[in-house]
Structure 1
Amino acid sequence: MLNEAQGLPRLLARLRALERQGCEVLIVDGGSDDGGAERAAQAGFRVLSSPRGRARQMNQGAAHATGDVLLFLHADTQLPDGALVTLRRALQRSGAPWGRFDVVIEGRHPMLRVVAWLMNLRSRWTGIATGDQAIFVTREAFDTVGGYPDQPLMEDIELSSRLLHRARPVCIRDRVQTSGRRWESRGVWRTVLLMWQLRWAYWRGAPAVQLAQRYR
């Protein structure tokens, strides 16, 4: 997480429910200055500090996790009910070492439903997952591919590409719910167009650092 104090009560309630199901919960803070990290620690959660950046923060969490399956959850994303049981069964039945959930985007704009539908369809066709889809992976597979690459953008695309060399992901149709604030604050169509441009440039070899500057 990074500066998620406003949504912290809702987030911590969700994480507490996961703990009650036997899940090890690690919150990795990327240098928040809104007091969120301190509040999470006071609530009894294990909070790790990390240099800012999704890849670095997720690798930090993975380095301290003890489980045999890692689930990477953005602070503004909510798992569906029964997600842990569904995840375990999906891995066992498919034999795949990794996967992701379908996603629905929370927000007022009607096009957000279309955007989420296209994201899920594209992911199912290509085998590439995004961080908003709550990527999960076995510890063995994650370590074998070297974890998330240390880059400021497209870290989820790169991890997916590496894991695809081992197996296609298991795609769970149950949907995680993620915040649409990025789309709504920047404009839905403008954001969609920008992301497609960045993905195309990345596939053509543009450096992630350069793309991150355009993204900001």
Structure 2
Amino acid sequence: MSQVSIVIPTLNEAASLERTLRLLTLLNPPAKEVIVVDGGSEDETLAIAKQNFESFNQVLNIQVFSCQQHGRSIQMNHGASDATGDILCFLHADTWVPDDLIAVIEQTLANPTVACGGFISLMTGSQTTRWGISIHNYLKTYYAPLLFKPHLFFKGLRLLFGDQVIFCRRTDFWDCGGFDEALPIMEDGDLCLKLVKKGRIYQVNRIVQSSDRRVAKWGNWKATVIYLYIGFLWGIGVSTNYLKQFYQDIR
């Protein structure tokens, strides 16, 4: 039986969540459980999560929680604390995964030198694929740690981000203190910096798809500039509380 617990933090994700959960019903093998942690949605997100709990409960073990505080780090730590699987997989509500997700995760972490993994994220819309942004995000996994943390790069550091569906062993996650709940953004990169002490960070040569809603709102050039600006400033140690102003929520 699979030992992978999938944790999904949500906040006003009514437009994406149903599709995400529906695709999770196709997983073969299935996840041990899917934990949805809502951070105070004001749309139909919770209703959709509970409706799918009733509809898919025969094929998907869904648990739905409401968190007193919102913030992705807080919500994901909450979900991780309720998880019973040996492996944690953190999935954004607007990211869609292949049906062999669980097998790929388990095969990746069967290698004891790998502490954490993630996928290649292909950013897509209803009628478009953001090839330029997607390729840059792929390359950023490698060049960012090489540029800012070269001593850790050669020890296996790669910087994975939430759209890449990050997964790791539950024991390693808590040994590293989980996500830093004080960080409003870049909690994923911070986790990689902590987990590399346990082993290599590995980007699996497989695709997941993520919503392009942010790029659709900003446009390709503006999005690229903002991503580079935030990444560079974070790399040199600028506070994420300052950086958050450039990365507003878009639904």
Question: TM-score higher than 0.5 here?
Answer: yes
Is 1:53 matched up with 2:71?
A: yes
Secondary structure of the residue aligned to 1:201 is helix
Q: How does 1:20-169 map to 2 (within 5 A)?
A: 21-44=30-53, 45-50=62-67, 51-93=69-111, 95-107=113-125, 108=127, 112-125=130-143, 126=145, 127-150=158-181, 151-169=183-201
Q: Residue type of the partner of 1:47?
A: V
**CA distance in 2: counterparts of 1:121 and 1:10, whole angstroms:** 28
For residues 202 and 99 of structure 2, the distance between their equivalents in structure 1, rounded to whole angstroms, comes to 18
Q: 2 CA distance for matches of 1:19 and 1:60?
A: 26
Does the aligned pair in 2 maintain the 1:94–1:170 contact within 8 Å? no
Size of the aligned set, in residue pairs, is 215
Q: 1:188 to 1:92 in 2, by over 3 A?
A: same
Query: What percent of counterpart residues are identical?
Result: 34
Pair 1:208 & 2:226 matched: no
Unaligned runs of 5+ in 2: 1-9, 54-61, 146-157
| Structure whose residues are more often strand by fraction | 2
* Letter of the 2:246 counterpart: R
Q: Under a length normalisation based on structure 2, what TM-score does the superposition of the two structures give?
A: 0.80
Quote the Cα distance in structure 1 between the aligned partners of 2:48 and 2:237: 41
Give the superposition deviation at 1:20. Answer: 7.0
Q: Deviations over 1:115-168 (max 9, x none)?
A: 212211221453110110000010111011100111101111111111123222
Give, in whole Å, the separation in 1 of the partners of 2:208 and 2:32. 17
Aligned residue in 2 for 1:6: 15
- 1:18-41 CA-to-partner distances (Å, cap 9, x unmatched) read 497143100111111112212311
CA, structure 1 residues 214+14, in 2 after alignment: closer, same or farther (shift >3 Å)? same
Question: In structure 2, what is the Cα distance between the partners aligned to 1:46 and 1:167?
Answer: 31
Task: Show structure 1 runs of 5+ residues with no match.
Answer: none
Change (3 A) 1:93 1:204: closer
What TM-score, normalized by structure 1, do the two folds share?
0.92
In the superposition, relative to structure 1, how do residues 22 and 55 fare at CA in structure 2: closer, same or farther (>3 Å)? closer
Q: Does the Cα contact within 8 Å between 2:96 and 2:208 map onto a contact in 1?
A: yes
Deviation of the 1:195 alpha carbon:
1.5
